[in-house]
Each structure stands twice: as C-alpha cells, then as structure tokens.
C-alpha cells in the first residue's frame, strides 16, 4: 500500500465514522422526548375517572336495557317514533271527526266551513287544536283526544287540513 492510498483510506474511515455518529445523534435526539410524550398522552386519557366512566357507561346501559326489555316490548319508556307529518297525524287522529264533519267538526275540503276559521289566523287554529276548544259547533278535544301527539305534530295536521280547505 502506498502512502497516498493509505491516507485516503484513513480519511474515508474517519469520514464514514463522522457521518455515522451524526446519524446516531439525530436519531437519539429525536427519540429522547418520546417517553415523556407517551406519558403525557396517557395522562390526558386517564386524567379523570369520570371521563373513563362516561366512556364506558353507554355500553353497560345498552346491555342492561336489552336484558331487561327482552321479554316484553318497552312501554312509554321509549321516545316516540320520529315525528309524523301532517297528513299522517290527520289520518290517525283527526279524520274521524274532520273527514266527514262529524259532531260539528268543520269538514276538511269544505271551503265554506273553513273560511271563517282560517280568517282567525293560523295561530288561533293551532291553539284550538293543541288545547282543545268548546265552540258553538261542538267540542274540539285537545290534540284531537290523542295526548301522545307533540304540539308540532298537531300543528302539522292543522297545516294539512287548512291547505286542503282553502
Ligand atoms: C272528536 C272529534 C274531533 C276530533 C278527533 C278532532 N277534532 Fe278538531 N274540531 C272538532 C270540532 C267539533 C270542532 C269545532 C269546534 C267549534 O268551533 O265549535 C273542531 C275544530 C277544529 C279546528 C278549528 C278551531 C278553530 O279555532 O276554529 C281545528 C284547527 C281542528 N279542529 C283541528 C283538529 C286536529 C289537528 C285534529 C287532530 C289532531 C282534530 N281537530 C281532531 C272535533 C274534532
């Protein structure tokens, strides 16, 4: 080996070593903060017992409810089905009287019977339908006698009846 090629050899080794060391430094520097960060994340997740309890609660409730209600369908504890539209409410709870003008009820489609009522304003009609009204023509029961209806459902039925009667 000549002196020149020996020197080149040494400088190559030194150069490679420097690059390797640099690489290790960067690697170590990058990972040094990791355990701390991991601990912080875990701390945040487990910080409050209530948040853990809240996160596991629904699962427990669902399974308990399912176990309790298996033999029989739930009565009254379940929220009412998604709001029915005006026509559905009318068909279910109003048509009995208003479909044929029974018991003094203004008949849907009869413009003559509805004109005076519509003239009172739709809010008055809503109030009569929701709270019931004792008029000269007869008794309009609150919510058509179906207290399970929401106010919004009764109003939708009024809208439906009024639209059909002008
Ligand atoms: C048991 C029969 C009966 C049922 C069921 C019934 N109504 Fe009536 N409704 C009446 C009678 C009778 C009147 C007329 C009352 C009066 O003005 O003398 C009336 C009047 C009304 C009026 C006019 C009120 C006013 O101020 O002029 C509206 C609006 C109305 N009903 C909506 C409904 C809706 C909506 C339903 C269903 C959710 C319904 N009704 C179910 C008997 C009924």
| 9 confidence band (pLDDT: 50, 70, 90) | confident
Q: Which CATH superfamily is domain 86-164 in?
A: Cytochrome c-like domain (1.10.760.10)
Q: Say how far apart CA 100 and CA 27 lie, in whole Å.
A: 86
- Arithmetic mean of pLDDT over the chain: 82
Nearest CA residue ID for atom 17, ligand 1 = 135
Compute how many other C-beta atoms are within 10 angstroms of the C-beta atom of residue 118: 16
Whether residue 155 has its Cβ less than 6 Å from ligand 1: no
CA atoms lying within 13 Å on the CB side of residue 153: 20
CA atoms lying within 13 Å on the CB side of residue 139: 3
State the maximum Cα–Cα separation within the chain, in Å, rounded to a whole number: 126
Residue 135 Cα: closest atom of ligand 1: 18
79 Cα–ligand 1 center, Å = 26
Could you report the per-residue pLDDT of 115-138, keeping only the tens digit for each? 999 999 999 999 999 999 998 989
The residue whose CB lies within 8 Å of the most ligand 1 atoms, and thus the one to mutate among 140, 143, 147, 150, is 140
Whether residue 98 has its Cβ less than 6 Å from ligand 1: yes
Whether residue 99 has its Cβ less than 6 Å from ligand 1: no
- Asked if 90 and 162 count as a contact pair (C-beta separation under 8 A), the reply is no
């Amino acid at each position: 080996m000549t002196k020149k090629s020996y020197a080149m050899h040494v400088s190559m080794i030194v150069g490679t070593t420097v690059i390797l060391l640099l690489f290790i430094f960067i690697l170590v520097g990058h990972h040094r903060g990791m355990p701390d960060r991991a601990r912080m994340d875990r701390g945040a997740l487990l910080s409050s017992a209530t948040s853990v309890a809240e996160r596991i609660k629904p699962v427990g409730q669902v399974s308990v409810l399912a176990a309790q209600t298996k033999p029989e369908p739930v009565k009254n504890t379940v929220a009412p089905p998604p709001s029915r539209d005006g026509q559905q409410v009318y068909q279910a709870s109003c048509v009995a009287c208003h479909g044929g003008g029974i018991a003094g009820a203004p008949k849907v489609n009869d413009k003559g019977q509805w004109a005076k009522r519509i003239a009172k304003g739709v809010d008055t009609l809503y109030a009569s339908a929701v709270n019931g009204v004792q008029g000269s023509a007869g008794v309009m029961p609150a919510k058509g006698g179906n207290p399970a209806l929401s106010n919004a459902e009764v109003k939708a039925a009024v809208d439906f009846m009024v639209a059909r009667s002008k």
